[in-house]
Structure 1
Amino acid sequence: MKKLAATLRSNKLMDLSIAPKPLPHSLLKPLKPQPETEIAYPKLIITGPSKLSGHVPISGSKNSALPILAATLCCSGTSILHNVPNLFDTRTMASVLASLGAKVEVFDNEIMVNTDGVQSVEPNADEIRKIRGGFFVLGPLIGRFGEAVVALPGGCDIGARPVDLYVRGLQALGAVVELRDGKVQAYALNGRGLVGGSFQLDYPSVGATETLMMAACMADGTTVLSNVAREPEVVDLARFLMKSGASVEGAGSNKLVIKGKSQLHGSKCTIAPDRIEAGTFMLAAAITRSCILISPVIPSQVSCLMQKLLAAGCKIRQWSHDTLEVSAVSGSGGENLRGFEVKTGPFPGFPTDLQPQIMALLTTCNGLSPVEESVFEKRMGHVNELRKLGAKIQVCASSALVFGKDNGSVLSGSCLSATDLRGGMSLVLAALASKGTTEINGVSHIDRGYENVDTKLHLLGADVKRLTALPSSELNSLIVDDSKKVRLKAKKTVWFHWKAERGNQTSLGSTKPESSRQVGSPIKITAASDHELNQLQQKLCAFPHLKFHCLIPPPILEAATCSSPGSFSSCLTLAAASFLPPGSLSKALYTIVSWTVGNGI
């Protein structure tokens, strides 16, 4: 620790990245993330410090769902995936599959994919560039159809994530791979398909391991992949492929042996709980010095984080095979958590996707805490934002030294901007522990990996509000359904005042803060059935700029835009479903019984 601190203070550069260097070809570098439709919105308003309590449900793993969705392309017939998190990334992947000709149906957290109608080997490039996971389709397409044309991927700007491992791995299986116009064009020689071979990865890349595994499942002969990733998400993908008829041995070890099959069939799969989301809420309990129950979670997948929290002074109790209680309550030693050293690495090492969040915790602990990021060289973008809250952190290259609360870090509210998924979530955790109000812009980054995060935090007792709006450039042209376009007369925001009922419970809400004045005439809205709500939800998912977020209790419908009450009846009916925890739509039903609308700047 002393040596690292001395190096940081002397400003000597340290290159601690162990990720493979890209080949000397500019096209091998991933494209920069495409700009989001919503620039600053949605945003979160968090007032702290917070005390959390209760139980938080963990959603399905995004990092498991994306490759498994891609793997449905390996299979003929229909595949059904349960417990799929409803996120921007998973919806985009569904669009990628649909652009190839697959029939994709989305029902809440269930996705059905039938690939019998796939007629293209070139997915929509714009969709691919929105997310990193879209590139997964490269392996299944060339494995099953012998050809693929896939745009280079997007995703968070956290450093180089080169695709040279993918390229060289496919070449080892007999593919010809060319890079043209920002796309990877791969095909098997003479239309014979891929052939089994051996390939050793320079670095245990999760994405490369999964892509090559999918390609090898339909190659002619046996493929041996060495130095592969051991992450749980790799094991999840292997299980799905084996249920579909593939032969994969060694998942979870550093060597895979795959015997190719001529055909795979569709199957059913339940996506495992998200270990990164579980770890994030474990850190939320620690940073707020609270006690919460977390489930479902697979303890062995978060054991590295558990060791860090126990060393800091937290208490962790396993109530069942998939339920953990994490406590850092004041009076039991939680107020004096100790700092510790963190070094990220491939599984079973400390996950890089939790590095920004654990750094937020370390600002509230005592002592000096060195943090070494050895996976991505640009994963320190959150540090400047944490500093705005009062955190004292020194950074040199991919390493940081965090000064705890007894060394000058005192967090207080500020205005922050999320620039990537995990870094954005670190700001949320820090805001929960900060004194005063914090405004976090760019929450669309966080929404890419955390399902209903503001609702979950609110149910735990946090003071969290979400604000949504459209950029002014889009206010004059707002699509509200398949056939109708509403053109606003002026660039003004419309505020809704509404009433919702469930049984004998009544909730009043307004999208305009600090205002109870209702304008306009109330309009009666009812939802005939759960099926009708599901249909509305699916229909509106096609227009991501129409977002309604409700918190309970009481529900609050945040900002939206419109010029005609009638045109938004379906949108407000949809809001009724937002009152419910994920997956509980059929168990209870809120109904919007009346609402009024008025204009406001």
Structure 2
Amino acid sequence: MKERFLVQGGASLSGVVAVDGAKNSVLKLMAAALLAEGTTTLHNCPEILDVPLMRDVLVGLGCDVTIEGPVVAITTPAEVSPHADFDAVRQFRASVAVLGPLAARCGEAYVALPGGDAIGSRPLDMHQSGLEKLGATTHIQHGAVVAKAEKLTGATIKLDFPSVGATENIVTAAVLAEGRTVLDNAAREPEIVDLCAMLNSMGARICGAGTSTVTIDGVERLHPTQHTVVGDRIVAGTWAYAAAMTRGDITVTGIAPGHLHLALSKLKVAGAEVETYDSAFRVRMNNRPKAVDYQTLPFPGFPTDLQPMAIGIATIADGASVITENVFEARFRFVDEMLRLGADANVDGHHVVLRGVEHLSSTDVWASDIRAGAGLVLAGLVADDVTTVHDVAHIDRGYPRFVEKMRELGATIEREKER
């Protein structure tokens, strides 16, 4: 049965909130466990819906997976099935992360085209092209991407765009390839660094993670390991923008502030006080935010996953803002829901112009993806009455204990079944 959130406007959030491991990392780390026979254990895992979904994918491939709170243990057998279960894979995008490990470990992979958030086209052409450079053949057949390779061999690969998913699949295939792979224009996200750190602890030889050129010297085999998942910078950024929008005071722990440098800098320009520590930061806002322009770009640019929060703060800012989306073309579906709340917004291609209003007006809104759902809750906090956010299963896929943490910070929010 579907659920919804009832969000009371007028709250000012304050307190301390801890960030769990990153959704955009843990699922890829679970997939990478396919590369080594034995038990790989992950710590600081977020308790979100996508973790058991990835468990189902791995179990379908022959693994034994146990989840005990923030600890996930994946036992990979000597023989892994190359066929990823269609029903499980189609439920979320990150399932495609098994493509590289299966191609490397089995010499073949059959992975259903993944599902996930409705934020625009996310083709697999760069994933396929990268694997082909390593010596595989790939094609789409009966709704699945098929890759086959008798032997993977290192190559020089340049991505047309620093795709996170393509970088992950190429790296996880190249670690067991023969020879050296040089990946240019690689994604630089902290989650890529986290993946490469775990792979190196498994015996891989990867240099340059976090830069645009990653070098991988293939090894014959990897061994299982233990690894602690990096903190979730998108969840941390959500709390930061919640503090600024509600004129609150929130300290966020469990995150490297450098992973959110630009997002926090934008809040300073908007008038917030921002203090950073080794693994935490504090955001305080006393007045109405000032209007700030944003454009989303791959890391270290402003994250596309925080674009709904940028729109949210712009809707109530003093002045006009322009938000430019350069990553996912359909992400402005969120604007339609903000218009329901009384935002003054006009979309023009991949730009949206927002003229701030002092308060939003509460109504019913629908989440189209994880981040849009969280953004709508933040908008509800600055509306005049009770806002009902529908389809909140999206939010549960990316935000552990979201309602409980909101309440601990002073929000009035209820979860209830849809009638």
Superposed pair shares fold, TM > 0.5:
yes
- 1:104–1:114 CA contact under 8 A, matched in 2: yes
TM-score normalized with structure 1 length = 0.69
- 2:359–2:382 CA contact under 8 A, matched in 1: no
**Match 1:93 to one of 54, 65, 76:** 54
Distance 2:67 2:267 in 1: 38
**Match 1:73 to one of 34, 49, 54:** 34
Give the secondary-structure state (helix, strand or coil) at the position aligned to 1:264.
coil
The match for 2:409 is: 460
The yes-or-no answer on 1:233 pairing with 2:191 is yes
The yes-or-no answer on 1:216 pairing with 2:174 is yes
- Cα deviation, 1:277-300, whole Å, max 9, x if unaligned, reads 000000000000011111111110
Structure 2 stretches lacking a partner, 5+ long: none
User: Mapping of 1:361-376 within 5 angstroms?
Assistant: 361-376=313-328
Distance 2:271 2:56 in 1: 45
Q: Answer 1 or 2: higher relative contact order, Cα 8 Å, separation at least 6.
A: 2
The match for 1:344 is: 296
The match for 1:328 is: 285
Shift of 1:468: 2.9
Distance 2:134 2:251 in 1: 47
Distance 1:346 1:51 in 2: 31
Which one-letter code corresponds to 1:102 in the other structure? C
Quick one: structure 1 residues 301 and 119, their matched pair in 2 at CA, closer, same or farther if it must change by over 3 Å? closer
The match for 1:416 is: 365
- 2:310–2:323 CA contact under 8 A, matched in 1: no
Distance 1:236 1:62 in 2: 12
The match for 1:300 is: 258
The match for 2:379 is: 430
Which one-letter code corresponds to 2:280 in the other structure? T
The yes-or-no answer on 1:182 pairing with 2:131 is no
The match for 1:560 is: none
Distance 2:189 2:79 in 1: 30
Shift of 1:176: 1.0
Name the % identity. Answer: 40
The match for 1:446 is: 395
The match for 2:241 is: 283
Distance 1:80 1:155 in 2: 26
- 2:184–2:214 CA contact under 8 A, matched in 1: yes
Distance 1:268 1:139 in 2: 21
The match for 1:360 is: 312
Give the secondary-structure state (helix, strand or coil) at the position aligned to 1:265.
coil
Give the secondary-structure state (helix, strand or coil) at the position aligned to 2:148.
strand
The match for 1:392 is: 344
Shift of 1:412: 1.7
Distance 1:310 1:375 in 2: 24
- 1:102–1:118 CA contact under 8 A, matched in 2: no
Distance 1:362 1:295 in 2: 25
Quick one: structure 1 residues 118 and 98, their matched pair in 2 at CA, closer, same or farther if it must change by over 3 Å? farther
Which one-letter code corresponds to 1:90 in the other structure? V
- 1:222–1:258 CA contact under 8 A, matched in 2: yes
User: Mapping of 1:131-210 within 5 angstroms?
Assistant: 131-188=92-149, 191=150, 193-210=151-168
**Match 2:15 to one of 54, 74, 84:** 54
Give the secondary-structure state (helix, strand or coil) at the position aligned to 1:434.
coil
User: Mapping of 1:397-546 within 5 angstroms?
Assistant: 397-405=349-357, 410-468=359-417
Following TM superposition, the consecutive aligned residue runs of length 4 or more in structure 1 with deviations greater than 6 angstroms are none
- 2:48–2:396 CA contact under 8 A, matched in 1: yes
Shift of 1:120: 1.1
The match for 1:541 is: none
- Cα deviation, 1:131-190, whole Å, max 9, x if unaligned, reads 0000000000011111111111111111110100011100000001121101111111xx
- 1:379–1:398 CA contact under 8 A, matched in 2: no
Distance 1:247 1:210 in 2: 15
Which one-letter code corresponds to 1:428 in the other structure? V
The match for 1:271 is: 229
- Higher-Rg structure is 1
- 1:421–1:448 CA contact under 8 A, matched in 2: yes
Quick one: structure 1 residues 466 and 117, their matched pair in 2 at CA, closer, same or farther if it must change by over 3 Å? farther
Distance 2:251 2:229 in 1: 21
Distance 1:63 1:145 in 2: 25
TM-score normalized with structure 2 length = 0.98
Which one-letter code corresponds to 2:404 in the other structure? T
- Cα deviation, 1:353-401, whole Å, max 9, x if unaligned, reads 0001111011111110000000011110111111111111000121100
Give the secondary-structure state (helix, strand or coil) at the position aligned to 2:96.
helix
Note the aligned Cα RMSD (angstroms).
1.1
Structure 1 stretches lacking a partner, 5+ long: 1-37, 472-601
- Cα deviation, 1:547-601, whole Å, max 9, x if unaligned, reads xxxxxxxxxxxxxxxxxxxxxxxxxxxxxxxxxxxxxxxxxxxxxxxxxxxxxxx
